[in-house]
Copies of this chain bind each other. A is one copy, B any other.
């Protein structure tokens, strides 16, 4: 934490401390648990702030571990490892939601600020807790309840419009994992095999998916990004359009206000992504229902790296440090993010030649991950005034990198 010196450490003519000091001691250390691409991009966003970034990563090959200077290799499920890691940190934050809630409480008891804290994060860890809380504060969700077994699933279906229903393990799912689309009671056996609680939800007849991203700081300042449209393919986010095309001002404001209220009621610190279903009633009214919550930088916010004045990563860092938040407004009329999934061609680097030459404005964000079919290994951002053009450029680049477009 900086080299030693001696003298009087002052702030604005007010002596803070006299004697020996480290000049850089006042720049805090942000510890991030998890070495995935979200940590990689948070590190990138933290470099300009001059903060120290420390990473707890499973392996030295993890996405973030490749590019961070101060890396501890260890298992986040082990409390001793977490405690040792936390010793050098001024605040702990997360690349994922998988750290056991009780470990987070132990770190807090040790006096380490954990942001978001366990009382907030549990809502992103446990879908049962999340639904109960959203019900309690009156946030609209799909019809849902915890189900005990296959017969209970059939009962849940009968209580509503029948099958299909969605089954989710309450913990551990993401990107379509831990989620089952069930057309009959016979198909409902798999989710129960793991022996963890299962949440049943109605299949919502939505017109599209939206995401409302907000960032909140410990002293309660919060900012809302424009609501985006999120297009999924096979349960995985494929394309994000910012702002959501054609959304009414009323619905956009309602979604932003809803996300800000959830952040406040749940005590979130940092970035909160609220995934939404947009539905249309028989009368033609547009409504929103909350699908999922994520308390960390989120795929639906990657467009902010090149499309917003302050990125979700920079604002997440500012929030966990309780610094004033940056302006979340867009810099372009339209920004499109397209995920790059692994395909049959492992050599994505050679594809840069075509992609960069075709579109000198293209923004490539690769994660340093080995290519495996279907795996998210990067994304691209494009922006401009013509949505069709911006969409085409993003989809072409993502497809070419994946290998599904070859010309």
Residues of A within 8 A of B (CB): 2-3, 5, 9-13, 16, 21, 23-24, 26-28, 40-41, 43-44, 47-50, 52-53, 61, 65-69, 71, 305, 309-310, 318, 323-327, 331, 344-350, 352-353, 356-357, 360-368, 370-371, 378, 403, 406
- The verdict on A352 contacting B323 (CB below 8 Å), with A61-B3, A69-B71, A344-B10 known, is yes
Q: Contacts of A47 on B, CB cut-off 8 Å? A: 40-41, 43-44, 67
The residue on B at minimum CB distance from A355 is B324
Chain B residues near A345 (CB, 8 Å)?
A: 10-12
Given A27-B366, A323-B356, 18 more A-B residue pairs with CB atoms under 8 Å apart are: A11-B347, A12-B345, A23-B346, A23-B370, A27-B349, A27-B368, A48-B363, A48-B366, A49-B366, A53-B67, A66-B69, A67-B69, A324-B352, A324-B353, A324-B356, A325-B360, A326-B356, A327-B361
> B44 near A48 (CB under 8 angstroms)?
yes
Interchain residue pairs with CB less than 8 A apart (6): A9-B346, A11-B350, A12-B350, A26-B348, A325-B356, A327-B360
Contact of A361 among B52, B326, B365 (CB under 8 A): B326
Q: How far is the CA of A71 from the CA of B323 in the complex (A)?
A: 30
4 closest Cβ contacts across the A-B interface? A50-B366, A324-B356, A324-B357, A327-B360
**Residue contact B356 to A403, C-beta cutoff 8 Å:** no
Q: Which residues of B contact A364 (CB under 8 A)?
A: 48-50
Q: How far is the CA of A67 from the CA of B345 in the complex (A)?
A: 31
User: Which residues of chain B are within 8 angstroms of A325 by Cβ–Cβ distance?
Assistant: 356, 360
Q: Are B353 and A323 in contact (CB under 8 A)?
A: yes
Residue of B nearest to A352 (CB): B323
The answer to whether A347 and B48 touch across the interface, beta carbons within 8 angstroms, is no
Q: How far is the CA of A399 from the CA of B323 in the complex (A)?
A: 19
